[in-house]
Amino acid sequence: MGKKRIPRYPKKPHSSGQARIQLGGKRVYLGTFGSPESYEKFYREVAEYQASGGVPLPSPEPTSNKVTVAELILAHKKWAEQRYVKDGKPTSEVRSFKTALQPVFRLYGGTPVDDFGPRALLTCRQWLIDRGYIRRRINQHVGRIRAVWKWGVPRELTKAETLGALMTVPGLRKGEGGTRDNPPIGPVPDEHVAAVERFVTPPIWAMIQLQSWSACRPGEACAMRTCDVRDDDPLLPLAMRGMCWVYRPGSHKTEHHDKARVVLLGPKTQDMLRAWLRPGGPEAFLFSPREAREWWVQKQREAASKPDRRCRKKRNPKTRPGEIYTTSAYHGAIREACERAGVPSWAPNQLRHNAATLLRREYGAEVARIILGHSRLSTTEIYAERDISAAVQAMASFG
Give the model's pLDDT for residue 254. Answer: 55
- Percent of the chain past pLDDT 90, that is, above it, reads 43
Give the model's pLDDT for residue 368. Answer: 84
Give the model's pLDDT for residue 380. Answer: 34
The answer, yes or no, to whether residue 379 has pLDDT greater than 70, is no
Residue 295's pLDDT band (cuts 50, 70, 90): confident
Question: Residues 219-235, buried b or exposed e (16+ Cβ, 10 A)?
Answer: bbbbbbbbebbbeeeeb
Beta-bridge partners for 32: 18
Give the model's pLDDT for residue 321. Answer: 64
Strands 18-23 vs 26-32: parallel, antiparallel or unpaired: antiparallel
Instruction: Please indicate whether residue 379 or residue 242 has the higher confidence score (pLDDT).
Output: 242
CA dist 326 and 331 (Å) reads 9
Q: What is the pLDDT of residues 314-327, one digit of tens each?
A: 565 556 667 888 89
The answer, yes or no, to whether residue 191 has pLDDT greater than 90, is yes
Residue 24's pLDDT band (cuts 50, 70, 90): confident
Give the model's pLDDT for residue 149. Answer: 96
173 DSSP assignment: P
Overall average pLDDT of the 11-40 stretch: 89
Give the model's pLDDT for residue 385. Answer: 47
Backbone phi, psi, residue 258, to 5°: 60, 40
Give the model's pLDDT for residue 145. Answer: 97
Give the model's pLDDT for residue 190. Answer: 92
Does CATH place domain 190-398 in 1.10.443.10?
yes
CA dihedral 382, 385, 386, 387 (to 10 degrees): 30
Give the model's pLDDT for residue 180. Answer: 86
Q: What is the pTM of this model?
A: 0.66
The answer, yes or no, to whether residue 362 has pLDDT greater than 50, is yes
The answer, yes or no, to whether residue 342 has pLDDT greater than 90, is yes
Residue 383's pLDDT band (cuts 50, 70, 90): very low
Q: What is the pLDDT of residues 238-280, one digit of tens each?
A: 767 778 888 988 765 555 545 668 888 989 999 999 999 888 7
Burial of 92 (0-12, 13-18, 19+ CB in 10 A): exposed
Task: Give me the CATH topology for the region 60-178.
Answer: DNA polymerase; domain 1 (1.10.150)
Give the model's pLDDT for residue 375. Answer: 58
Give the model's pLDDT for residue 206. Answer: 93
Give the model's pLDDT for residue 236. Answer: 76
The answer, yes or no, to whether residue 339 has pLDDT greater than 90, is yes
Give the model's pLDDT for residue 78. Answer: 87
Length of the chain: 399
Give the model's pLDDT for residue 129. Answer: 93
**pLDDT, averaged across the chain:** 83
Q: What is the pLDDT of residues 128-166, one digit of tens each?
A: 999 999 999 999 999 999 999 999 998 888 999 999 999
Where do the structural domains in the chain lie, given as residue ranges?
60-178, 190-398
Spatial contact of 237 and 391, defined as CB atoms under 8 Å apart: no
Give the model's pLDDT for residue 262. Answer: 86
